[in-house]
Structure 1
Amino acid sequence: MSRAWVGDDHVVRLNTDGRFRDAYRHEARVVDLLAGSEVPHARRLAHGDGPDGPWYVSERLPGRTLDDAWPAADSHTRRSIIESLGAALRALHSVPVPPDLLPPWLSGALSGQPWPAFHPPVWSAALRLVEAAWGSHGRDPRLLADVAAWIQERRELFAGDEPVLVHGDLHGANVIVDQGRVAGLIDFAEALAQPADAELDTLLRWCARAREFPPTPDAQGLDEASLAEVPGWLHGAYPELFAREQLRERLNFYDLWVELALYAHHPRPDVRDVAHGRIVLLLSGRNHLDRLVW
């Protein structure tokens, strides 16, 4: 859990969730990589550890979140926002990045520690999730065997990929807009080195299932119908992001990662049941991407 205080010029955040204790340190490292780039972002002013937990101070960007601005924006403004988002992502994916960059919690989870979150995808580690699910009580062994075979058939899709700096959690709450343009990308706590099209995983899931991304726990997510043109606008602004051969299969692979992580590690049976159903659909060639056009 994090708390935030937003002032006229600064934003102060306090992380009180011990599962993500190194999140601000990781974010500071990523933001430092952005220095001198064309990526719109909030400058880091200071970060550290205090008696109440890790803290992080950044400048306040002008404007408000895309989630807040979207409902009242007209079609022209919405398109302008998404086109500037495409430019911001192109700049982000051009920033030199250490090839082993991972959020500390994710690195720990992949090494056998608890899973406090379930994204972003790391394609090379998918079979570890299958093994973790095999070792968990109550999982479906026949489904997992099918998943393992499905993954093995698609691993060559990623052969030779060059990792870039990927935000890892891109949706309406993590984009600040002002005067019809993106003023900054925020919350780099899950940024990592992965193929550029991994960026589309959360973004397209948000477009198709926006109600699952409420800006705050007691709020509602955007109406998915209002986001129907977002993938096409983004494609027009950043066509290279959609240019990979067999893109749909690659996106299916990223989607499987998220659902498989939930199925293997989520503590709630109802959430695991939903993930199980979505994995079954995905293996049959269907998922939320069927509702999107780009």
Structure 2
Amino acid sequence: MRLVFSFSAVRSGSSFVFENLHGVSSTAYSLVFATNAAAMLAAGACFARLAGRGTRLNTLLSPGVGTALLGALAQVLLVTTVGETLAGTWTTLFVTAGGIGLVFPSAMSIGQAVGRTAPGAASALLGGFQFLFGALAAPLVGVFGEDSSRPMALIMLGALAAAGLALAVLARPWEGHGEPVPAVQRARFLRTLVCGPARTPGCVQVSRDTVGFLSDGSGLGFAGGALLVGRTLAVLTALTRAAHDPSGGSRDRPTWPSRDSFRPPGAPGRRRRVLAVTGHRMPAAEVPVSVDLVRRLLDEQHPDLAHLPIGVLANGWDNLVCRLGQEFLVRLPRRALAAELVAHEQRWLPELAGRLPLPVPAPVRVGQPTAEYPWAWSVVSFLPGLIAARSEPDDPWSAATTLGGFLDALHVPAPSQAPVNSFRGIPLAGRAEGVLTGLAHVDQADRATALQIWETAAAAPAWDGPPVWLHGDLHPANILVDRGRISAVIDFGDITSGDPAADLSMAWMLFTPEQRAALRQAYGRADDATWERARGWALALSLVFLSHSADNPLMRGIGERALRSVLE
């Protein structure tokens, strides 16, 4: 907010500084405003590029404040030692505007992300305080005199110094508070808002369907910050036209981006067509599962836990997952097939957990079938974090390395008693029928490319090593992110043994080509044939996700992203 105070001082004071003190005409002052707008736009473009590469917003916030503070300090020293000069004032304001242009999107995104549990209230507070500080700053420049630019410079310097102090003492950006939505979405969204409609050269045409992105409070905060930069250009246009046309002019408003507008990281500049894949609904529960059932089972078998509060956390394809107090989760199978998978977790996860570099949900209590409920069930430790499908890691390269190391530790030869899975870890030939059926529903323009990729993967040499342990269902909804870092891998119900390429397919669901290379390097033993089969697995699984997600937009989004990554 102190930054807004400083910015308002610039906006209210720069007009009389340039026009009254330096004799600049109104038309020429539009050029001054244009250079300040250009500085903010350049800083916004720099922010977009760095954020798109995974740079933390807190890392971008500090140099922005420092640059603006340096510009204000230079203006004060210049007026004090040299006096009023047009070139000096113009240059220092250009530097200050550049710093402000870098800070606005960073600060507002972080503020909204911190308040994401109440995005409306956070947005109202940010907007309200901006107007309040702006209203307080605007008259001060004139109150302290109109014969020098010193009041404007001192107000700017004081506000920016306070902002720097608050940043260091209160915000502590090195702790990474409030890192918001995935960097690739921030970058594309900023570029769209700043550039406007597609007819502006180099920009992306987007539609109004923005539910997926703007439903996150941090997305709204980022939109607000980006709009400030875009509106600077709008004011510039209005001022320039006003010099020649008293009626002013109109401006184009950027349209809202849809989820389909955000290509996967690393994709080329063109948009790929929306995929015409049909979907089936999730399988129905074969027995009624509910919080009341969980309570009764705990009363009967684990009464020492029965007093803890219970709430539904997820109701997925296979299990009802309930939060049990602060430390535990309860997993109840919804159908017979899932019950077998829970039994696999109960048998093998305790043995694997000790040698894996990331936490996994090994059961801490085992529930037995009853007359009311026919299958075994589990109590597992609660692992903090959000799934990577909703909260991507702050540093995707580090995340790729982490997951590569995890898979390297997991993929060791499995005993002959390891669970058998007829669908995972098998030779790709066993997935051919399903892939060809799924490809029939892919957009025709993509079908030939997808078929060629599949045929190349299926022709790669088969896995000739011993069957290794596999997670079996590794995708971004089974990876947890806490404080911006990969924190756990969950849901080992499909645990099996076989070809490691099945698990490595996850690289196409979360990472860019460069980040996939980092995962492969950390994994250390994926030859070209294994990597080619992994791409084939990514194609096969993306079609599964797409064809069984009519009522599950999360899995559909994972499938869409994976398929686009495979095709690019």
Residue 4 (structure 1) aligned with residue 321 (structure 2):
yes
- Amino acid of the residue matched to residue 19 of structure 1? L
8 Å contact from structure 2 (residues 408, 524) kept in 1: no
In 2, Cα distance between equivalents of 1:260 and 1:180 = 29
- Asked if 1 retains the 8 angstrom alpha-carbon contact of 2:429 and 2:458, the reply is no
The whole-number CA distance in structure 2 between the counterparts of 1:102 and 1:43 is 16
Whole-angstrom CA distance in 1 between matches of 2:417 and 2:336 = 23
Which of the two has greater strand per residue? Answer: 1
Instruction: Give runs of aligned pairs for residues 85-124 of structure 1, distance below 5 A.
Output: 85-94=403-412, 96-99=413-416, 101-103=418-420, 106-107=421-422, 119-123=423-427
Q: Which AA in structure 1 matches 2:509?
A: W
- 1:191 aligned residue (471, 495, 513): 495
Contact map agreement 1:207 1:228 (CA 8 A) in 2: no
**SS class of match (1:67):** coil
Secondary structure of the 1:122 match is: coil
Alpha-carbon shift at residue 49 of structure 1 (Å)? 2.5
Structure 2 contact 418–496 (Cα < 8 Å) conserved:
yes
AA in 1 matched with 2:380 = S
CA RMSD in angstroms, aligned pairs only? 4.2
Q: 1:157 aligns with which of 461, 468, 486?
A: 461
Larger RCO (alpha carbons 8 Å, 6+ apart)? 1
Shift in alpha-carbon separation, 1:20–1:43, aligned structure 2, 3 A: closer
CA shift, 1:205, in A, is: 4.6
**In the alignment, does 2:391 pair up with 1:69?**
yes
* Alignment of structure 1 residues 1-294 onto 2, 5 Å: 1=317, 2-6=319-323, 7-40=325-358, 41-47=360-366, 48-50=368-370, 51-54=372-375, 55-70=377-392, 73-75=393-395, 78-94=396-412, 96-99=413-416, 101-103=418-420, 106-107=421-422, 119-123=423-427, 126=430, 157-158=461-462, 160-201=464-505, 203-207=506-510, 229-240=514-525, 243-251=526-534, 254=537, 289-291=566-568
1:173–1:229 Cα change, 3 Å: farther
Q: Tell me, in whole angstroms, the C-alpha distance in 2 between the residues paired with 1:38 and 1:88.
A: 6
AA partner of residue 206 (structure 1): M
CA offset digits 1:173-214 (Å, max 9, x no partner): 11123334332211111111112222122x145248xxxxxx
Relative to structure 1, the CA distance from residue 183 to residue 53 in structure 2 (aligned partners, 3 Å threshold; closer, same or farther) is: farther
Per-residue CA deviation, residues 237-278 of structure 1 (Å, 9 max, x unaligned), is 3232xx31434542355457659999xxx899xxxxxxxxxx
Distance across 2 between alignment mates of 1:43 and 1:62: 14
TM-score (norm 1): 0.59
**Measured at CA, do residues 21 and 157 of structure 1 come closer, stay the same or move farther in structure 2, by a change above 3 Å?**
same
1:74: how far off?
3.6
Counterpart contact for 2:345–2:362, Cα < 8 Å: no
* Alpha-carbon separation, structure 2, partners of 1:87 and 1:175: 14
Cα separation, 2, equivalents of 1:267 and 1:10: 30
Runs (5+) with no aligned partner, structure 1: 108-118, 134-146, 209-226, 269-285
Report which of the two structures shows the higher radius of gyration computed on alpha carbons.
2
Match of 1:65, as an amino acid?
A: I
* 1:235 to partner: Cα distance: 2.5
Q: CA deviation at 1:170?
A: 1.0
Distance 1:81 1:89, change over 3 A: same
Deviation at 1:67, TM superposition (A): 2.4
What is the SS of the residue equivalent to 1:232? helix
Q: Is there any run of 5+ residues in structure 2 with no aligned partner, and where?
A: 1-316, 437-450, 550-562
Rounded Cα–Cα distance in structure 2 between residues aligned with 1:157 and 1:182:
32
Give the counterpart letter for 1:187 in structure 2. Answer: D
SS of the counterpart of 2:369? Answer: strand
Amino acid at match of 1:82: A
Question: d(CA) in 2 for partners of 1:43 and 1:259?
Answer: 28
Q: 1:271 is matched with which residue?
A: none
Distance 1:230 1:120, change over 3 A: farther
In the TM superposition, residue 64 of structure 1 has moved relative to its aligned partner by 2.6
> What CA distance in whole angstroms lies between the structure 1 residues aligned with 2:479 and 2:530?
24
Deviation string for 1:109-155 (max 9, x for gaps)?
A: xxxxxxxxxx524117728x759x9xxxxxxxxxxxxx9xx98x967
8 Å contact from structure 1 (residues 11, 59) kept in 2: yes
SS at match of 1:38: coil
State the shift of 1:97 in Å.
1.6
Secondary structure of the equivalent of 1:32? helix
The aligned amino acid for 1:5 is C
Letter in 1 for 2:390: D
